[in-house]
Amino acid sequence: MDPRKPGTTRTATILPFPDRPREVDQQKILQLSPEYEGLCLLYSHHALSHDKLYAIKILCWARLADGSVVALVPWLKGIARCIDLDNPESGCAEGYYCPRSERRFSDAPEHHQRALEVRATYPNNSPIVQEIPDLTGSHAALIHEDNSRFQLEPVVSWQLNDKGEMTAMLADTSETKEWPILPGSDCLYPATEENGFRYFFQYHIANQIKSGGVMATRALSKLITP
């Protein structure tokens, strides 16, 4: 085609390409299905071992904006989708695992996929889309201002808001008159409101810290260091 000469009139309309969805938008969490059967996420962690796989209990399954269904686990300072764990040096997802049957698998269980499809049909006019209980024994580690004292607070529940963000909810026991403390209780508050919040610990790590086990020294050294 000949180059257009200066001064000639355009005969075609230039249409912009449609905006492509950002990857972060495609991975937004839309709905949750709590994991009640103790299924685990397997992951490798080369900083700990090149020969072993580790297991962490799955908190729930989530449908993302791109339609995929993935497992969610408490990880360091927040919630991680299994697709976020992609570095063998710090944690790389290696599939799912059922401790009872010792079966490994790679896709979300069908009943969770169906539950999430049904959940997607629920109307919602609240900024809090869902609140689910923490059935994995997650604990939030809190450091006091002088770095000399810490405490481990069990996570009661997790809230999913309409932005696709997950928030761990802790209990202020001085503000409750009802026991046991359940998701949605008025005494719950976000862990992120604590200035001394550091990490989320898995159930077995939290209990080793409480009992002064071998893992406690390693965990505490990371905990006290800002």
Domain assignment present for residue 216? The answer is yes
Domain assignment present for residue 16? The answer is no
Domain assignment present for residue 46? The answer is yes
**Binning pLDDT at 50, 70 and 90, where does residue 18 land?**
very low
Average pLDDT over residues 14-42: 77
Domain count, the chain: 2
Q: Are 53 and 199 in contact (CB under 8 A)?
A: no
Q: How far apart are CA 203 and CA 207, in angstroms?
A: 6
Q: Which domain holds residue 225?
A: 124-226
- Identify the residue with better confidence: 210 or 93: 93
Looking at residue 198, what is its pLDDT?
87
Q: What is the pLDDT of residues 132-178, one digit of tens each?
A: 999 999 999 888 766 666 788 999 999 999 999 999 999 998 888 88
Whether the pLDDT of residue 46 is over 90: the answer is: yes
Burial of 125 (0-12, 13-18, 19+ CB in 10 A): exposed
- Smallest CA-to-CA distance from 91 within 71, 115, 75 is with 75
**Binning pLDDT at 50, 70 and 90, where does residue 10 land?**
very low
pTM above 0.85, yes or no: no
